[in-house]
Amino acid sequence: MPLINVIPGDKIPVAPMNVRLPAWRVPGWLLVFWWLARGLFRLTVLAVRYWWLTGPALLALWIRAEFGGLVLAGVVTTVAAGCVGWWRWHPVSWLRFGWYPLVARVRTLAVYRPRWASVMATCGLATVFGGDRYVPRLLRVQCDRWGDELTVRMLPGQIPDDWGQAAERLAYAFRQDTGQARSTDRPDRVVVRFMRRDPLAGTVAPLPVADVPDLGGLPLGVREDGEPYRLRLAGSHVLVAGATGAGKGSVLWSLIRSLAGGIRSGLVEVWAFDPKGGMELAAGVPLFARFAYDDADGMAGALDDAVKRMRMRAARLRGVTRQHVPTVEEPLLVLVIDELAALTAYITDRKVRDRIKESLGLLLSQGRAVGVHLVAALQDPRKDVLPFRDLFPTRIGLRLTEPEQVDMVLGDAARDRGALCDRIPETSPGVGFVVLDGVREPVRVRFAYLTDDDIRSLGRTYRRLDHAQEVTA
């Protein structure tokens, strides 16, 4: 036995303990049984999850075993005939409760589930913590005529804006055309919509004119889900921005058309300003109470008159009501300006320009409650051109030339939320995104297109009953 030299003051090393664990022998049949049980459990889970496949399959096998192939063929034929009859008798309910739910389940199984984890990882929406991978959970898929809506439970720490920034990448990953994310009433969930077909690909015809316009929802076009788009004018001002040929005229004339019934009856009074010499709005002169063009001093005077009317109306309504209700005696006053930048930035006379800016600031800040509304269109959304864009609660962005202009018009991070105004093709005039104050997600809309003949016919049919009109050249 070797000797160990111990130096005084040193610790004596302790020999490691050798522990021999008991050997457990597992019978081979138990391993096989465990493997089969695990496989059976997984099959049961899959059968319950995809009951809409396993249920009919088991029922078909049972009918085939009990009654034979002829009976099975008869049952299948009866079910198919019932579906066809349902489709022919009431196609709306068939599509809503029969066809689209089936399409959603098939697309969930064939398109989204197999690639979900990998797409989440490559798009930066999955994470790893403590060696474990965490993936957002796909809760539900809904389909309609135009696309798919995916309801997803987000991971802790995610917000809908994260999904809005990744929506375009998600659309390409799942081989869809476009993607957009929006929040829900539950803070842990987000809805991602993918478009398979574009309902806004075709031109929208002029919409019917109501005898009494609904100021809480004026029909102007079609949304991307195929439903009519209604703009709330009551208590709001509207800003329209778009490049040359983007379709600003479609927005203005659709709005004027939706007010035409009120114009004829006297409930609505429209003052039109066309600094480009009257080229855009002159066709609708019979609809306007005042029409100003070319003369900058005359347009400044008309805006001053609007401010005076606003203050007089505010004095009459003070202490009576907080919101103006249009009447023939006190009609709704709508100021339509075709090119706002021509009034705020391009006028060389500084005094006139300052008058116009002062009037516009007063109208935008005080006019909504007393029934004075401003609808303005412009091409250049720079801050020096439009210093009070935040006073427009409703903002519409048509096709824009640069990505930075989207946030200038619609607000910070609007492009990240899906308002891709710079991606709108030149072949789609009248397509744009609408943003409302207090609403995070933009709405994609195509506004109705009115030809020159439509505008002239509108002027003849719905011209003001009193033909008195002031025209400022």
> Average pLDDT in the 189-199 region?
88
Residue 99 has pLDDT above 60, yes or no: yes
- Spatial distance between the Cα atoms of 418 and 442, rounded to a whole number of angstroms: 7
Mean pLDDT over the full length of the chain: 85
Q: Which of 9-18, 309-318, 382-391 has the lowest mean pLDDT?
A: 9-18
Encode pLDDT of 103-143 as tens digits.
Answer: 999 999 889 999 999 999 999 999 988 888 899 999 999 99
Task: Name the one residue in this structure whose structure tokens are 């090119």.
Answer: 339
Asked whether 396 and 238 are in contact (CB, 8 A), the reply is yes
pLDDT at res. 13: 56
- Indicate the annotated binding residues: 242-249
Cα angle 79-84-90, degrees, rounded to a multiple of 5? 120
Neighbouring CB atoms inside 10 A of 145's CB total 12
Count of alpha carbons within 13 angstroms of residue 328, beta-carbon side? 7
* DSSP-derived 3-state class of residue 216: coil
Nearest to 434 by CA among 409, 402, 404: 409
- The better pLDDT of the pair 2, 267 is held by 267
Asked whether 249 and 284 are in contact (CB, 8 A), the reply is no
Residues 6+ positions from 141 with CB-CB distance below 8 Å: 104, 105, 107, 108, 112, 148, 149, 150, 151
> What confidence tier does 447 reach under pLDDT thresholds 50, 70, 90?
very high
pLDDT at res. 347: 78
> Average pLDDT in the 350-365 region?
90
Residue 14 has pLDDT above 70, yes or no: no
Residue 408 has pLDDT above 90, yes or no: no
pLDDT at res. 94: 87
User: What is the chain's percent helix, strand, coil content, to nearest 5?
Assistant: 40, 20, 40
Residues 6+ positions from 150 with CB-CB distance below 8 Å: 112, 138, 140, 141, 191, 192, 193, 194
Asked whether 430 and 446 are in contact (CB, 8 A), the reply is yes
pLDDT at res. 9: 54
- The better pLDDT of the pair 409, 16 is held by 409
Q: Which of 103-117, 327-341, 379-393, 409-423 has the lowest mean pLDDT?
A: 379-393
pLDDT at res. 10: 53
Residues 6+ positions from 58 with CB-CB distance below 8 Å: none
pLDDT at res. 151: 95
> Average pLDDT in the 319-344 region?
86
pLDDT at res. 12: 53
For the chain, percent of residues with pLDDT exceeding 90: 35
Q: Which of 82-86, 106-110, 215-219, 318-322 has the lowest mean pLDDT?
A: 318-322
Residues 6+ positions from 335 with CB-CB distance below 8 Å: 270, 271, 273, 303, 306, 363, 372, 373, 374, 375
Neighbouring CB atoms inside 10 A of 66's CB total 9
CA distances from 282 to 268, 272, 316, 331, 378 (A): 19, 9, 34, 22, 18
* DSSP-derived 3-state class of residue 124: coil
- Spatial distance between the Cα atoms of 227 and 219, rounded to a whole number of angstroms: 11
Encode pLDDT of 223-281 as tens digits.
Answer: 988 889 999 998 899 999 999 889 999 999 999 999 999 999 899 999 999 888 777 88
- The better pLDDT of the pair 11, 140 is held by 140
User: Residue 300 is which amino acid?
Assistant: A
pLDDT at res. 3: 52
- Indicate the annotated binding residues for ATP: 242-249
Encode pLDDT of 273-326 as tens digits.
Answer: 988 877 788 888 899 999 988 788 888 999 999 999 999 998 888 888 778 888
pLDDT at res. 2: 53
Residue 26 has pLDDT above 70, yes or no: no
H/E element, 149: strand 147-153
Nearest to 254 by CA among 290, 286, 207, 291: 207
pLDDT at res. 308: 94
Asked whether 406 and 368 are in contact (CB, 8 A), the reply is no
> Average pLDDT in the 342-363 region?
86
Which two structure tokens, joined as six digits, stand for 112?
């989204």
H/E element, 217: none
> What confidence tier does 8 reach under pLDDT thresholds 50, 70, 90?
low
Residue 467 has pLDDT above 70, yes or no: no
Residue 7 has pLDDT above 70, yes or no: no
pLDDT at res. 73: 86
Nearest to 196 by CA among 135, 150, 247, 127: 150
H/E element, 332: strand 332-337
